[in-house]
Copies of this chain bind each other. A is one copy, B any other.
Amino acid sequence: MDNQKYITETIKLMQNHRSIRKFTKDQIPKEQIVEIVKAAQGAATSNFVQAYSLVMVTDPIKKEQLSELSNHQQQIIDAPVFFVFCADMKRLEFATGKHDIPMQYDTLENFIVSIVDTSLFAENFLTAAESLGYGGCYIGGIRNNPKQVSDLLNLPDKVMPIFGMTLGVPAENHEVKPRLPIDAILHENEYTTENYQRLLDQYDDIFRDYYKTRTSNAKDMTWTQTMATFFSQKKRTHMKEFVETKGFHLY
């Protein structure tokens, strides 16, 4: 492929990302976590509000409880450390409170901003960690029981867990999952659905091959089948109530 000259170390890292769910017993030195968090903080943040916090869970009992709350995922217990990424408007309440100005934060806009901010921060976090040889996996499963997760970590109002992340030295290695064809993602000047049928058929073939031949958990399924099954029922219908209980607003 003659695009090789455009593949920087960073791009290579990203194009080779895979979720890691099995870890060695190795710990991650605190100094490295500090540099990873600083790299994560380097991400852009909307109007520099920095509306996120990170709870690093090292306590084995809490990790076990978090595993239970997240569909009993063993990786949360096995990883040397588990991170919970939170949308955070609480620190901003302290910041604005310093000037006795009531914070007008109760908008859907701020809900969106805090989730985007948290996610940009998290993606830098994982990529930075991967550049040091670590691997990990986003855990959306903490949204199965968000209130219990919130209580366990003592999250106050205006702080909401969005997802978790396991991190450690990889004890497994597997193939990169093929992504959608770029033409199904990238549109020029206007959006079109014109090629979706064809591109999805094409992708289904690629994906089925990947699933059939992968070294672990092989199956005979296409991407669109997986999606049809996944979206055949509603998930986590408690989220609205939870979000509002935490003092975020959806209007």
Q: Which residue of B lies closest to A85 (CB)?
A: B116
Q: Which residue of B lies closest to A180 (CB)?
A: B50
Q: List 14 A-B contacts (CB under 8 A).
A: A6-B132, A7-B35, A9-B10, A94-B200, A95-B223, A95-B227, A96-B228, A103-B228, A106-B234, A110-B235, A112-B239, A153-B189, A153-B191, A240-B250
Task: Decide if A104 is an interface residue (CB 8 Å cutoff).
Answer: yes
> Are A16 and B42 in contact, with the CB atoms below 8 A?
yes
> Are A140 and B113 in contact, with the CB atoms below 8 A?
yes
How many monomers of this chain does the complex have? 2
Render A124-146 as a binary contact track against B, CB cut-off 8 A, 1 for contact: 10111011100001101001000
Q: Which residue of B lies closest to A231 (CB)?
A: B103
**Inter-chain contacts of A26 with B (CB < 8 A):** none
> Are A14 and B42 in contact, with the CB atoms below 8 A?
yes
| In-complex Cβ contact of A230 among B39, B43, B47 (8 A) | B47
Within 8 A of B (CB), among A175-205: 176-177, 179-180, 182, 184-193, 196-197, 200
> Are B243 and A108 in contact, with the CB atoms below 8 A?
yes
Task: Decide if A37 is an interface residue (CB 8 Å cutoff).
Answer: yes
